[in-house]
Structure 1
Amino acid sequence: MAPNDSAETTGEATGTVVGRRKAARYIVPVAVAGVAAATIGLVPALANSGDPDLPKISAQELIEKIAASDEEQLSGTFKISTDLGLPLDGLAGSFLPGAGAGGEGEDGGAAAPQDKLMELTSGTHTLRVAVDGPEKQRLSILGQASEYSVVHNKGEVWAYDSKSDEVYHAEAPEGRDGSAEEAPKAPKGVPATPKDFAEQALAAVGDTTSVTVDGTAQVAGRDAYQLVIKPKQSGSTVGSVRIAVDAENGVPLKFTLAAAAGGKAVVDAGFTKVDFAKPAASSFDFAPPKGAKVTEADELETGKDEHGKAQKALPDQLSGQIPGLEGLADSEGVNVIGKGWTSIAAIEIPGGKGLPTAGSGDVPAEAQGFLDALGDKVTGKFGSGTVFKTRLVNALLTDDGKVYVGAVTKDALVRAADGAK
């Protein structure tokens, strides 16, 4: 294996590269663009086989290679699994903005993209993807005896859940050209492919980040360089981000997010099979099966205002970047403390109340034990509160109704709350 340069990049250099990206969102159907990045975890998808001998490349050159990648045709299979370290897998969705907010997922039935893609926030999943430029994409989640697919074909979006035999349909507004930029978009959630995760991680790179090239690997039979991103700051729950980049075309093939505490990867999405040839045109054909229930997106009007308000309560930047909380600064009731990987969002809860307690009469005594088991009681200059922990994102809810949340340690949250007083 040829040694690789391990030069660190600067925030300015990375910023110019990111601005030149050509195909930022082509892999996943734009209408269903993802499921919560900062809080999603994926198990190792495919063991690396061998360390190919490749020409030396610097970290800056490898980032430029990713940014310049213009591959718009591919098909393949990849695996996703989540390991947030929650006491109950079903709680994963409740930590995500928009989950259960009364949006399209509820009104759109079992086939609505938002709720189905939220399932990727826990467990292990196998997915198939096919892409033919910005106008045609297909993403399928494979179950043991079922399949869920979303097809975007020239501005028309179909989603089908074979288990419930339900169909969701949306169309681009009249007069649009049907391109990916014009296609109807579902509420923001989490990225679903290695490329999506890689772009979010690279967007967070700045002067608080170390970026190096750490050897080579083979992923899905393709030679790849390994780009490693690490926080320079202490106090972050993120240990490192490792991106396997196709040596030939610059497409991210695998993405692994490791927790600072060690153990199993929090995020690891990788192709097990990939082909950059043009997919068959039939891959993007869809007609509702006979007898299936079809829900039209333009008929879904109820609950939209409530959904919008819920999204503002925890703005979507909270789940869309690692760490990247700076975008929350202009949101009502939100103050961002710190920067980079140790950014913490301080959120005021309307009414100024913390968790209900058995002593207050708001919750049964039996339920209080369950609530206590989910978090750690903490005290400080701010008073007292409870820290709810995952392996990546932690949140402090104070007894006087404030929330401090970020990809940081419990101690960092307490210091932030103390400093806010």
Structure 2
Amino acid sequence: MAPNDSAETNGGTRGTAAGRRKAARYIVPVAVAGVAAATIGLVPALASSGDPDLPKISAQELIEKIAASDTEQLSGTVKISTDLGIPSLGGLAGSFAPGGAGGDGGKGGSSADPQERMTELASGTHTLRIAADGPDKQRLSILDNTSEYSLIHNGDQVWAYDSKSDQAYHATEKQAGEDAGRDAGKKSGHPVPEGVPTTPKALAEEVLKAAGPTTSVTVDGTAQVAGRDAYKLVVKPKQSGSTIGSVTVAVDAESGVPLKFTLLPAAGGKAVVDAGFTEVDFAKPDASLFTFTPPKGTEVTEADDAKAQHKADKGLGDLIPGADAAQLGAGEPGAKNTKVIGEGWSAIAEITTPGATGLPSKASGDVPAEAQQFLDALGDKVTGKFGSGTVFKTRLVNALMTDDGKVYVGAVTKDALVKAANSAS
């Protein structure tokens, strides 16, 4: 195995000006919080046949190799699973899920709607088949034992099909941009809802966005993933208080395409996010993969109809007053009800919920018993200069909701959230 070179992004690291500008697309840990909050993870045990002997490369050169990669054609199989450590929702899931008894009386939207189906990747283990032929043709399929869910983008047309229910979803590119995160889809190689990356490349790009003084980047040996020789790029926070221990990206030595992405928690244990190819081919995929005609008898939902249904759903607002508006504010950097405390891996978003309302309680009669059990299982009561509140925890993203209606969220520890709330008081 070749010697490993390393570089710490301490503000003094220099490469070519063009290379640094390209690399600037890549390392903001706040994005990792978004990745985990919305979604993902993977089966750690991927095929490996030893550490290949590759030429020495520096961390800076490897980042630039990723940025310079122009691969637009590929197909393959990706294994993906997530372990955020969230307690099981049990019967509560059916009550608040789209189409569930507590959602809209069982009159939910299409089971093929990407906004609903892609959230499946937030937990468990999944096998995906992907194919891409340039920015206008992508296909992603989630495979089950007896069924398949496929999302196909071809030119200005986006189709999704659920073979189990025989339902389809159709949108034009403009509609997909509004409702299914078109821009995010183009970046990641397929049209999926924004904030739901599903390939190692998309996950790596969420992390590698802007090298800075809060981050250490090293090359830590080599590996073989899906039969391809790869370098291992390791990204670690320098700051204390982050729940993220490290991110390892296995980068194809020839093409610069990320083949595997592994996110380990600072607390140790199995990976929170671990996604990688088990098979990959960089040849031009067959054109038939990007065409779709609904089978006879298929129920087709148009995007405009689905959009109207989404607006009709109350969503989290039934459970946490102001939650929907807070989510909107969190997605808008200039929103008046949202600000960021700190920077880098320890950045925390402070969100003021409309009406400054805190969590409802069982005692007040605002939530059903099952919902209260779920909230209690997730939360720890805390107090401080800010007053009192509840910290909701996962293995990666934690959130403090104060009794006076403020929310502090980030990929940081409980103590870091309390400190931020105290400093803002």
- Normalising TM by the smaller chain, what interval? 0.7 to 0.9
Q: Select the residue among 231, 240, 246 that pairs with 1:240.
A: 246
User: Aligned equivalents of 1:367 and 1:136: distance in 2?
Assistant: 42
Contact in 1 for aligned 2:154/2:290 (Cα 8 Å): yes
What is the SS of the residue equivalent to 1:414?
A: helix
Aligned twin of 2:326: 313
Contact in 1 for aligned 2:392/2:400 (Cα 8 Å): yes
Alignment of 1:83-98 (within 5 A): 83-88=83-88
Alpha-carbon deviation of 1:364? 6.3
Question: Are the structure 2 counterparts of residues 185 and 271 from structure 1 closer, same or farther at C-alpha, using a change threshold of 3 Å?
Answer: closer
What is the SS of the residue equivalent to 2:6?
A: coil
Alignment of 1:272-287 (within 5 A): 272-287=278-293
Contact in 2 for aligned 1:45/1:80 (Cα 8 Å): no
Alignment of 1:222-371 (within 5 A): 222-302=228-308, 313-315=326-328, 329-363=333-367, 368-371=372-375
Question: Are the structure 2 counterparts of residues 170 and 249 from structure 1 closer, same or farther at C-alpha, using a change threshold of 3 Å?
Answer: same
For 2:129, the aligned partner's letter is R
Structure 1 position 4 matched with structure 2 position 7: no
Contact in 2 for aligned 1:81/1:120 (Cα 8 Å): yes
Q: Select the residue among 216, 220, 226 that pairs with 1:220.
A: 226
Alignment of 1:62-73 (within 5 A): 62-73=62-73
For residues 146-194 of structure 1, the C-alpha deviation after alignment (integer angstroms, 9 at most, x for no partner) is 00001111221111000110011112359xxx99869996642310000
Q: Select the residue among 380, 402, 407 that pairs with 2:406.
A: 402
Alpha-carbon deviation of 1:358? 4.0
For residues 302-355 of structure 1, the C-alpha deviation after alignment (integer angstroms, 9 at most, x for no partner) is 25667899765225876xxxxxxxxx6522201211111000111112222222
Alpha-carbon deviation of 1:361? 4.4
Aligned twin of 1:38: 36
For 1:171, the aligned partner's letter is T
What is the SS of the residue equivalent to 1:111?
A: coil
Aligned twin of 1:391: 395
Contact in 2 for aligned 1:236/1:260 (Cα 8 Å): yes
What is the SS of the residue equivalent to 1:7?
A: strand
For 2:113, the aligned partner's letter is A
Alpha-carbon deviation of 1:246? 0.1
Deviates more, 1:218-227 or 1:352-361: 352-361
User: Aligned equivalents of 1:108 and 1:367: distance in 2?
Assistant: 23
Aligned twin of 1:159: 160
Alpha-carbon deviation of 1:117? 0.6
Aligned twin of 2:140: 139
Question: Are the structure 2 counterparts of residues 154 and 364 from structure 1 closer, same or farther at C-alpha, using a change threshold of 3 Å?
Answer: closer
Contact in 1 for aligned 2:47/2:278 (Cα 8 Å): no
User: Aligned equivalents of 2:192 and 2:168: distance in 1?
Assistant: 15
Alpha-carbon deviation of 1:207? 1.3
Contact in 1 for aligned 2:110/2:301 (Cα 8 Å): yes
Contact in 2 for aligned 1:355/1:397 (Cα 8 Å): yes
Deviates more, 1:42-51 or 1:61-70: 42-51
User: Aligned equivalents of 2:41 and 2:186: distance in 1?
Assistant: 28
Question: Are the structure 2 counterparts of residues 313 and 55 from structure 1 closer, same or farther at C-alpha, using a change threshold of 3 Å?
Answer: same
Question: Are the structure 2 counterparts of residues 37 and 408 from structure 1 closer, same or farther at C-alpha, using a change threshold of 3 Å?
Answer: same
What is the SS of the residue equivalent to 2:63?
A: helix
Alpha-carbon deviation of 1:90? 6.9
Structure 1 position 198 matched with structure 2 position 207: no
Structure 1 position 79 matched with structure 2 position 79: yes
Contact in 2 for aligned 1:45/1:271 (Cα 8 Å): no
Stretches of structure 1 that go unaligned for 5 or more consecutive residues are 25-34, 319-327
Q: What TM-score do the two structures reach when normalised by structure 2?
A: 0.83
Structure 1 position 118 matched with structure 2 position 116: no
What is the SS of the residue equivalent to 2:416?
A: helix
Contact in 1 for aligned 2:151/2:191 (Cα 8 Å): no
Contact in 2 for aligned 1:204/1:340 (Cα 8 Å): no
What is the SS of the residue equivalent to 1:302?
A: helix
Alpha-carbon deviation of 1:7? 1.9
Deviates more, 1:42-51 or 1:297-306: 297-306
User: Aligned equivalents of 1:316 and 1:117: distance in 2?
Assistant: 22
User: Aligned equivalents of 1:390 and 1:76: distance in 2?
Assistant: 31
What is the SS of the residue equivalent to 1:274?
A: strand
Question: Are the structure 2 counterparts of residues 345 and 245 from structure 1 closer, same or farther at C-alpha, using a change threshold of 3 Å?
Answer: same
Alpha-carbon deviation of 1:395? 0.4
User: Aligned equivalents of 1:339 and 1:42: distance in 2?
Assistant: 28
Contact in 2 for aligned 1:379/1:385 (Cα 8 Å): yes
What is the SS of the residue equivalent to 2:415?
A: helix
Question: Are the structure 2 counterparts of residues 375 and 115 from structure 1 closer, same or farther at C-alpha, using a change threshold of 3 Å?
Answer: same
Aligned twin of 1:52: 52
Question: Are the structure 2 counterparts of residues 128 and 93 from structure 1 closer, same or farther at C-alpha, using a change threshold of 3 Å?
Answer: farther
Aligned residues: percent identity? 66
What is the SS of the residue equivalent to 2:127?
A: strand
For 1:73, the aligned partner's letter is Q
Contact in 2 for aligned 1:45/1:78 (Cα 8 Å): no
